[in-house]
Every structure is written in C-alpha cells, then in structure tokens.
Structure 1
Amino acid sequence: MKSVTDETFNADVIVRSATLPVIVDLWAPWCEPCKSLTPLLESVVASTNGSVELVGVNIDESPQIRETFQVQSIPAVYAFKDGDVVNGFMGAQGEDAIKKFVDGLLPSEQDKIIEALLSEGSEESLSEILVAVPDHEEAVIALAKIFAESNRSDEAIAILKKIPESGETRRIVALARTGDISNEEIIRKLDSLLETVSENEDDRKQYVDLLDVLGPDSEEATSYRRKLASILF
C-alpha cells in the first residue's frame, strides 16, 4: 500500500482518481482495528489486478488530510473517482463487506462495452451507445463532432440537445454552422465582421460562432471578445 501525505494527496488521490478508482485508508500506528483492516483491504484490492488502487494515510503525520476529512475515529476508508468521494465506511469490516465495497467501484459489463465502443469512435459505435444511454455525454459530443465535420450541421445541433450546454457543445454548434475553418481564416473573418457587427445581427451571430470555434481558452477569442464589447457597449 502506497503511503500518501498532505503534500502528495492531490497527485496520488485527486488526480490519479481521474484514471481509476483510488481507495484511501486513514489509519494510525496506535489503532488496533487498523492493523486488521489494512491487510484485508490490500488483499481485496490486489485481486482487482490494478483496476483499483489503495493508498494509506497516517493521520498523525498528515494533519491537513485529517482536518479535511474531519476524522473522528479510525479506521476510516474513502473511495475516490474523478476527484470526488463516491463511497466510504468507518470501523473494521469483514472480507465480504470489503469485497462488496471494492466491487462497487469496478466497471459494470455495460461500462466495459461502452468503453470499447467509445474507443472505436465510429458513427455506428457511438450511435449504439446512445441507444442504451441516450444522454451519454462523451458519446453525444463525439458523434456531434462527426456530424459537424461531415457538414451534417442539423444533426450535430439536434443531438447536442440531449446534454447540458457547455463550452464544448457551443464550440461544436459553432463549428457545425461555420464549417471546417482554419484559425487564420477565422481571424480574417473576425477582422472583417468587426466593421458590421454593430448594425447587422446576422454578422454578429457569425462573429460569436467564430469565437466559439476558437474555444473559451483561446487568447485570440478573448482579444476579439474585448473588441466586440468595445464596439457594442
């Protein structure tokens, strides 16, 4: 079992749990129940063949972690996925209970099938996912990109309505409207549209679409948003 401290918790638990589930075992050298629980955790986690990781935190040496979890008693065990606690328990547990706890972190058969279909990434495989899970966000976005890049803008826009709006969905909608376009061409069009955006609503919509294609983290998009604001306001 890997030891985690205040300094390494973020990398070894929060970041790592984006890749696979991480179980955190909070213990201390003076805790007798911890001495029987930890070997059981190690054995059950080892049986997952690397699908789940186990780390240990000596709360006497990691006051920040102890404070974060507001530890009242140990052993205390927490499971993380994607940076969040998804399950946990306190006190000593038997092997059957621990196995059930760990099994609950493993992907289901459907999850495995979906992962394989996502990896394939074809229109057919992504559509198959959406038959089973109509609002599967990753599949919706991937399929919308395929539609947008093949000039099927109506289909791209329609399928994105299955999931909440985000910066990425807005970018794909904008891509569907504008077509495949290079950054250089986007900048040229933005410069041209600046002359008419204050008076022409269609040009203003096209301008915003081009900003969305650049993406929310683009420095160029930030600069041209400021230019638009200075003209309109």
Structure 2
Amino acid sequence: MQDFIRDATTSSFGEDVLAASRSVPVVVDFWAAWCAPCRALKPILEKLAREHRGEFILAKLDTDKEPEIAARFGIRGIPHVKAFVDGKVVAEFSGAVPESSVRSFLAGVLPAPAEKLRLKAKQAVREGEFETAEALLREAMKLDSARFTVRLDLVEVLIARQAYCEADLEMQAIPERERDERAGLLAARIGFWKNGESLAPAAELEAALAQSPGDLELRMRAAERHIADNDYDSALAHLLELVRADRGVLRERARKTMVEVFKLASDAELIARYRKLLSSTLY
C-alpha cells in the first residue's frame, strides 16, 4: 500500500490524520466490511489517491474496529468521508457518490498552487529551514498577492530570522481591516523591536539599574529592552517590580505591557507564574 493510502486506527489517528493534515489534506473514509456502498466507494477513493500521488492522504477507518473515533466525529451512517486540514474537518459527504462528485469534493479540498507552496513553507519551518520557507512564501505571494495569510506567514518567518526591518515592511502592506489577532501579535513583536532599537543594550541598562535601583523609568527601559531581545522572564520581573513600586501612570503602563508579554511568550509555566504574581500585587 502506498504511503498516501493508509489504514487509520484509534491509536494512530492523532499522528496519521490530525498531525499529518497540517502538512497535506487528509481524507478519511469511514467504512465497514459489511457495507456494500462502502465497497463501491472504496475503489474510487483509492484511484483518485493514486492519481494525485500524495497531494492528499487517504486514511481508511473501519468503524466496526474503531467505534471510538466514529463516535467522536458523529458518524451515524457509512460510507462517510471527512477531509481534514490543519487538524480540523473542512468538508465531508455521505454515501456512495459517483466519481465526478468525489472529484468535485477533492477540488474544494486540495490546495491551490499558492497554498501548496505555503504548506511546503510550513514544513520547512518545522525543519528549521527558514530561508527555504521565506523563498517558498515569496513565490506563493507572486501567485496570490491578495492572500494576506501568506504574507503573515512570511512576517512570522522573517521575525524568526530576526529580519525585523523586512518583517515591518511586509506588515505595513497588510491593511488594518485585514489584520486578525495573529497579525496583532506579530505587529506587537515588531513594535517592541522598533522600541528596542532606540535603547541601550540590556547589559548596559542592567549595570545602570544596579547603580540606581530606584530609577523606575530606567527599569522600564530595561524591561522594554529585554522584550525586544525576547528575554521575557527578565522583562516580566522588571515590569512586576514597577507595578509594585509605582502608583501612577508608569504602573498602568507596566501592567499593560505585562499583558502584552503574556500574549507573546510561549512558556506556559512562565506566564502562569507571572499572572499569579501580577494578580496578587493588584488585588
């Protein structure tokens, strides 16, 4: 059996379907051996899977052997086909439909040329190949310049490469009305980098702060420098101290900045610890 046609089980579903669908669409055929319509649909699905040669994965799940997964996805009749992309169901149909209908179904699921490049870029990012990812995304933008999702992916890759100037230019090309939560977070990271460009190096600011620990403005600059350097632990420690020490405008500025850092940081334990400390300080 080719790698793009596989049997799915309860134990393998997470990897073979949900995780795999982050790189390529996965079409799951829910079937059973006793089901005559399932036997009619099976060769059509397998034929098209071979025809597309890896553009999608066909995962066959026997509902008699794997009732948990069938129940989890609300399968009440078979054959039932669900298409997964990025771990989520994006399309589905029931019954032994003709080949023309299956082809139409796949046309709505399989990625366009620009999306194929985007998926390859995501895989390159997972492998740490950021320059390759950047090249793929720039090629995808040539094919579909109106898709701001691709441009956001490029911004993310450029930030990962610390190419903030280029990331800023790409972000400016996305209209405010098209920006979602993800765009807001990326814009915030660029903003902190911009602010950090006007600040002294972290070591210099820390040395000055050791000489003048009561200088709250200096402590704020040190926190902002650490954010620009992605040193969120040091930044949050300074910001928390500002919330504790000040009772004016600087206190609120530090609190708001902590909330922004909570959104940017990926360390769940770090975030939980400082959220608790901030809450106990405020209340």
Q: Which bin holds the TM-score, normalised by the shorter protein?
A: 0.7 to 0.9
Is 1:6–1:62's contact at 8 Å kept on the other side of the alignment? yes
Is 1:147–1:156's contact at 8 Å kept on the other side of the alignment? no
Gaps of 5+ in 2: 123-131, 196-223
Report what 1:93 is aligned to.
97
1:86 counterpart letter in structure 2: V
Counterpart of 1:189 (choices 238, 257, 265) is 238
Report what 2:134 is aligned to.
121
Distance 1:84 1:96 in 2: 25
Report what 2:30 is aligned to.
26
CA RMSD after TM alignment: 3.9
Report what 2:153 is aligned to.
138
What are the superposed Cα offsets for residues 6-54 of structure 1, whole Å, 9 maximum, x if unpaired?
3322222222212211111111111122222111211101121212001
Distance 1:127 1:80 in 2: 22
Q: 1:141 to 1:232 in 2, by over 3 A?
A: same
**Residue-pair matches, total:** 231
Report what 2:269 is aligned to.
219
What are the superposed Cα offsets for residues 65-118 of structure 1, whole Å, 9 maximum, x if unpaired?
232343333211111111221112222122222223223322213334656888
Q: 1:9 to 1:188 in 2, by over 3 A?
A: closer
Report what 1:13 is aligned to.
17
State yes or no: 1:35 paired with 2:39.
yes
Counterpart of 2:179 (choices 138, 160, 163) is 163
> 1:149 deviation in Å?
3.4
Higher helix share: 2
1:201 counterpart letter in structure 2: V
> 1:160 deviation in Å?
8.6
Is 2:28–2:82's contact at 8 Å kept on the other side of the alignment? yes
Is 1:22–1:55's contact at 8 Å kept on the other side of the alignment? yes
What are the superposed Cα offsets for residues 170-216 of structure 1, whole Å, 9 maximum, x if unpaired?
751444443532527536633653553x4132354245435644615
SS in 2 for 1:7: coil
Report what 2:253 is aligned to.
205
Report what 1:149 is aligned to.
164
Q: 1:94 to 1:135 in 2, by over 3 A?
A: closer
> 1:56 deviation in Å?
0.9
Distance 1:45 1:158 in 2: 38
What are the superposed Cα offsets for residues 145-172 of structure 1, whole Å, 9 maximum, x if unpaired?
7898349989968959442235844751
Report what 2:115 is aligned to.
111
Distance 1:78 1:155 in 2: 36
SS in 2 for 1:80: strand
> 1:222 deviation in Å?
3.2
Is 2:29–2:58's contact at 8 Å kept on the other side of the alignment? yes
TM-score by length of 2: 0.64
Higher relative contact order, chain-length normalized (CA < 8 Å, sep 6+)? 1
2:134 counterpart letter in structure 1: G
